[in-house]
Structure 1
Amino acid sequence: MRNTATVTAKGLRRWQAGHPWIYRSDVTERPECDAGAVLVRDNRNRPIGWALWSPLSEISLRLIEVDVDATIDAEWWHERISLAASRRVGLDTVTNAYRVVHGEADGCPSLVVDRYDRWAVVQLMSAGLEAFRAEIVEAVLSATRADGILARNDAMLRGKEGLARETVLLHGEVPTEIEVDEHGIRYLAAPWTGQKTGAFLDQRENRRLAGDIARGRALDCFSYHGAFAMHLTRNADMVIALDSSAKALERARHIAAINGIDSIEFVQMDAFDFLKTKAEEDGAAFDTIVLDPPAFAKTRSSVASALRGYKDINMRAMRLLAPGGMLFTASCSFHLTKALFLEMLQAAAADTGRRIAIREIRGQPVDHPEILTIPETGYIKGALLQALD
């Protein structure tokens, strides 16, 4: 049974340019084996490396090793995951929750490992990776010394790989709630049911920035469980946490109580409606505003309509800034590029007629590295803006 794959010259060039994915259309000879690791050859039959093989996926091959003499076994996974963990040394001095493995960025395509205090949550997002579940669990245990490992394998992407969507315990026990300490602010992660693997770890440093620059009257739009709002209270006089979900705000109130914070007003309302009507009618102005909406552009075809939404909400937030006021705005839509994000902000500022200055361009924290040749590893775009008039 053949456990090798042959790829086109186009597929080879993609690897040589630093991107690990090879699509089905660039595989000229498919392996005859089940999902797992296969040796890949170019169109001249020269071995070029090892890849994770997913028979049913549009992304058929994911490069993991350029050493053609390597053996992809338990020791290999131990070394790769330990190396990723070593890049996070020091993070535990500011938080007990962070990403240990960021997929392709850490040379582990389709693998996510997040640490929450004494526990780990993993996502195995491809059939090729799933074949090494046992080896990966052992490697994660070795790197993290976790008391329990939970697999949040409920993402839609697994369906495209022919894999079951499930949330399953892989080792020990993992609680339904875990208290996270992030730069002195505490909140609750929900590994079994929460967003992503239990919390939005990718905005950690941006939340700290927002708290550092906050002052006066502050507004946190799309507050969800209030993580940005909690940080804003460090320096703001008062904070409005705005969200359309009563359930999310109830959890935010609980988190505020955990932190002993009583300076937040929780408002259940659609952010667009609040900025468009209530705030304008009241003549309100804010010294600090945070815009961290959910992804408006979930597909490439939705980018145009998403841009209209992003522009509208940013324009209205800019109008509500007090003179000298600060706006932290972000997008987590991968399909919205950095260039489009900045163009959108420029257009929004132009429509306000105000002088809006860029104070800082922001991205992802160090535990979510963005690789220049792998754009899929970077999705958060952020900007700190100031109204100069």
Structure 2
Amino acid sequence: MAVVNRRGAQRIRNGHPWVFRSDLERAPAVAAGFVRVEEYTGAPLGFALWSPQSEISLRHVSADASRAPDAAWWHEQLRTAIARRAPLATESNAYRLVHGEGDGLPSLVVDRYGDALVVQLLSAGVNAWTETIVASLQELTGCTGILARNDPAARDREGLPREVRLLHGDVPRVIEVVEHGVRYLAAPWDGQKTGAFLDQRENRVLIGSLARGRALDCFAYHGSFALHLADRAEHVTAVDISAPALARVHEHAQRNGLTNIEPVEGDAFDVLRAWYREGRRFDTIVVDPPAFAKNRNAIEGALRGYKDINLQAMRLLAPGGLLFTASCSFHLSRGLFFEMLQEASADSGRRFALRAITGQPLDHPELITVPETGYLKGALLEAMG
């Protein structure tokens, strides 16, 4: 049994599942897995996943003190999470089935790519239930393979090894994703995240439906935004610093029968500055950089980077043009994100209207009591002159 102090108990009652080591009055003398939790007063708090070596010692999962979570509990929770994604099956064959704390299953991520699943077990507590989770996923989804992408740094803090290994069946090195009619390849074994950036799916569709004229995709990676832009834009320029990534952009364009995408290799900051000096303009621009703020200490530098690249994009946008810009940095709050955009707009000397504010899609639920479940924020801006 774990006994928590007043602060830890209040955190649970306020809807946040994490209890830190400093809030433990008594730590369980058992291996990682589920443990009963009580307040220091003796009041029952239900059950939590226990991680002996982690700073986040407990991840609360159930307030029902009368039922210890077991294989049947896992099956019920997974079935509920998967059912929430039912509407997505008609739009794409790739989406998230379990979003950790957002689905009440802390530290567990499950992504679907066609008939294959990719999982991440990011705490010692959830890792102890690997076999049970895999068995339930097989039964609930009928998948042909399950791959563990257990390579995030979070596992270091849990005393767990980083590894990529097959848990069931077969998972191909590349899998074709069909997303609202657009086709691209995901790389579950060694691609970004679990194989692709599934969280931007709806944002790609949004800006793709509005694209026109000459379009620019900054930090294009494998071109998933560019592919959606190309359906309506006359010409799309996809900028990325990685030549191998741009080779995949070319391959994806061919896969979709598109001839209006031009890959350009270079640092987006330098390229956009050079094009501004040359007088180039674009009617539609996407700015979707990698996370500049990896931790709280990096926020100041990250804000300079975000402001700089958005300022360059604003300068390149033609009158009446649209800019979709996003940040996937959890440590950069929505407030700071929009303050940055205000400053960039002011420095550009132009007026921009806010046309839409975007967040995370249905399969990446953000809980208002658990800020750590939310990281993606975006804005659609129109140049007013």
Given the two structures, how large is their TM-score scaled by the length of structure 2? 0.99
Partner of 2:69: 72
C-alpha distance in 1 between matches for 2:208 and 2:369: 32
C-alpha distance in 2 between matches for 1:43 and 1:30: 12
| Aligned-partner SS, 1:112 | strand
What code does the residue aligned with 1:50 have?
F
Match of 2:284 among 278, 288, 309: 288
Q: Any residues of structure 2 matched to 1:104-143 within 5 Å, and which?
A: 104-143=101-140
Give the gaps of 5 or more residues in structure 2.
none
Alignment pair present for 1:382 and 2:361 = no
What code does the residue aligned with 1:148 have?
G
Alpha-carbon displacement from aligned partner over 1:254-275 (angstroms, at most 9, x marks no partner): 1111111110111001000011
C-alpha distance in 2 between matches for 1:288 and 1:101: 33
Alignment pair present for 1:238 and 2:235 = yes
Partner of 2:198: 201
What code does the residue aligned with 2:380 have?
L
| Aligned-partner SS, 1:241 | strand
What code does the residue aligned with 1:251 have?
R
| Aligned-partner SS, 2:60 | strand
Partner of 2:172: 175
| Aligned-partner SS, 1:344 | helix
Contact kept in structure 2, 1:37 and 1:128, CA below 8 Å: yes
Alignment pair present for 1:311 and 2:294 = no
Partner of 2:245: 248
| Aligned-partner SS, 1:90 | helix
Partner of 1:154: 151
What code does the residue aligned with 1:41 have?
E
Contact kept in structure 2, 1:153 and 1:167, CA below 8 Å: yes
Partner of 1:265: 262
C-alpha distance in 2 between matches for 1:295 and 1:333: 5
| Aligned-partner SS, 2:185 | strand
Match of 1:25 among 9, 18, 22: 22
Deviation at 1:71, TM superposition (A): 2.2
C-alpha distance in 1 between matches for 2:161 and 2:113: 25
| Aligned-partner SS, 1:149 | strand
Partner of 1:222: 219
Deviation at 1:33, TM superposition (A): 0.2
Alpha-carbon displacement from aligned partner over 1:85-105 (angstroms, at most 9, x marks no partner): 010112110100000000001
Partner of 1:326: 322
C-alpha distance in 2 between matches for 1:252 and 1:288: 18
C-alpha distance in 1 between matches for 2:31 and 2:293: 35
Alpha-carbon displacement from aligned partner over 1:252-310 (angstroms, at most 9, x marks no partner): 11111111111011100100001112x11220010000000000000001001100110
Alpha-carbon displacement from aligned partner over 1:301-360 (angstroms, at most 9, x marks no partner): 100110011011101111111000000000000000001001100111011111111000
Alignment pair present for 1:44 and 2:41 = yes
Alignment pair present for 1:337 and 2:333 = yes
Contact kept in structure 2, 1:219 and 1:286, CA below 8 Å: yes
Dislocated runs of 4+, deviation >3 Å: none
Deviation at 1:70, TM superposition (A): 1.2
Deviation at 1:125, TM superposition (A): 0.2
Partner of 2:363: 367
Alpha-carbon displacement from aligned partner over 1:34-80 (angstroms, at most 9, x marks no partner): 00000000010221110000000000000011100112111010000
Alpha-carbon displacement from aligned partner over 1:90-136 (angstroms, at most 9, x marks no partner): 21101000000000010100000000010100000000001101111
What code does the residue aligned with 2:285 have?
I
| Aligned-partner SS, 2:86 | coil
Contact kept in structure 2, 1:78 and 1:142, CA below 8 Å: no
Give the gaps of 5 or more residues in structure 1.
none
Given the two structures, how large is their TM-score scaled by the length of structure 1? 0.98
C-alpha distance in 2 between matches for 1:223 and 1:359: 23
C-alpha distance in 1 between matches for 2:145 and 2:137: 10
C-alpha distance in 2 between matches for 1:271 and 1:363: 24
What code does the residue aligned with 1:320 have?
L
C-alpha distance in 2 between matches for 1:139 and 1:195: 26
Q: Any residues of structure 2 matched to 1:269-280 within 5 Å, and which?
A: 269-277=266-274, 279-280=275-276
C-alpha distance in 2 between matches for 1:86 and 1:204: 19
C-alpha distance in 1 between matches for 2:119 and 2:295: 24
C-alpha distance in 2 between matches for 1:196 and 1:143: 23
C-alpha distance in 2 between matches for 1:374 and 1:346: 27
Match of 1:189 among 147, 170, 186: 186
Match of 2:343 among 342, 347, 372: 347
C-alpha distance in 1 between matches for 2:219 and 2:157: 30
Partner of 2:4: 7
